Amino acid sequence: MRARDSRSTSPGWPLHGGQPAPLLARFGLAEETPVLDVSANLNPLGPPAWLHGWLMARLGEPEALARYPDPGYAEAHAAIAAHEGVATEQVLLTNGGAEAIFLAAALQARERPGAAAAIIEPTFAEYARACAAHGLPVQRLPLALPDFRLDVEAIVAELGEAQLLWLCRPNNPTATLVPKPDVERLLALTAARGCRLVVDEAFVDFIGDPRESLTPLLADHPHLVLLRSMTKHFTLPGLRLGYLLGAPEVVAAARACQPAWSVNALAAALVAPLLADLDFARRTEGWLAAERPRLQAGLEALGLEVVPSRANFFLVRHPAGREASRCLLPALLRRGVLARHTESFAGLDGGWLRLALRDAEDNERLLAALDEALVEVGRPEVPR
């Protein structure tokens, strides 16, 4: 296995999903063109139905906005600790998963300035951005092809002098899940090298198997840090809620890097009721159980190569190769469907598309648009 260099990915493409305007402009379509957005990986069942009324009630109370938030976020930390089965000292509320990522990098830079970090790719671009912002050189380590499998021993062999290792689980954009035993092996090997392991679990709520939880591993592995996002599961990208879990001393050090009141009072007050909404969690599990296998079967029936998903999205490509897959993006956009390009994912270089799992009606619309787009791009042969 050879480590990738740290060159940036293709310029001029939006770095994240949910940004139709630059892609519509890029392909000559009007900005007001209506699109089904399958580029952002959000739960179609959310936000929870009660949320609008909850927010309106709080906005109707002027004193709720006239006070600073509790700087210790005691209520939110207690709710997260109870939900995760950890001590409150192991929890740090953050302004979305993105702040948790940047705090992990800031913590590393504070403790070991200039030490290299390693990123397992293809994966979310914010890890590299956070490292760059805090002066941490980046080494890029590829997942094993063709199935984007993590070879634990090969990864550790290529770590070199890296003192921080980033892992996304389930991984964005591949939707693959490193099995818990492999993470335990990775923890043992990184501990022996004095290397911190940061696992971004922004999509952990979509795994559907509590046995894969890494939270119990925190008790025996102080070099493990877990990052969570409440944005994806509850469909709240505009409210920015996330958290960091780790050993008490690690959390305390991360808190020292965090700006005061980085999470607003309304968002912080939402944590407890969101985590208490077990009905929403059950409905989400039912949706996943029904729609994930159905959409995978539909994509495969069209002749696309599909990476089996453990998240709420799929990574697909045209079997004819990179250029055919790249042509699918504008072909879908002309049919009113916005897919996630992969130009900004190191190692994919635009040769795949990421498609978010939606409700049954939207998934049917996606499959119909793909069926038409493949007539334009070239229909793959479907094995009989």
C-alpha span between 263 and 79 (Å, rounded)? 15
pLDDT tens string, the chain, 384 residues long: the values are: 444 433 344 557 877 777 788 888 888 888 888 999 999 999 999 999 999 999 999 888 878 788 899 999 999 999 999 999 999 999 999 999 999 999 999 999 999 999 999 999 999 999 999 999 999 999 999 999 889 999 999 999 999 999 999 999 999 999 999 999 999 999 999 999 999 999 999 999 999 899 999 999 999 999 999 999 999 999 999 999 999 999 999 999 999 999 999 999 999 999 999 999 999 999 999 999 999 999 999 999 999 999 999 999 999 999 999 999 999 999 999 999 999 999 989 889 899 999 999 999 999 999 999 999 999 999 998 766
The b/e string for 118-140 (b: 16+ C-beta within 10 A; e otherwise) is bbbbbbbbbbbbbbeebebebbb
Largest CA distance in the chain: 66
10 Å CB burial of residue 376 (0-12, 13-18, 19+) is middle
Amino acid at 214: L
10 Å CB burial of residue 302 (0-12, 13-18, 19+) is middle
- The reported pLDDT for the residue numbered 384 is 62
Segment holding 231, helix H or strand E: helix 231-234
Using alpha carbons, list the distances in angstroms from residue 4 to 117, 122, 189, 260.
13, 10, 21, 37
Q: Comparing C-alpha atoms, which of 273, 226, 268, 228 is closest to residue 251? A: 226
Q: What pTM did the predictor assign?
A: 0.94
Q: In what order do the strands lie in the sheet with 305-307?
A: 305-307, 313-317, 353-356
Residues in the chain: 384
Measured between its terminal Cα atoms, the distance across the chain in Å is 35
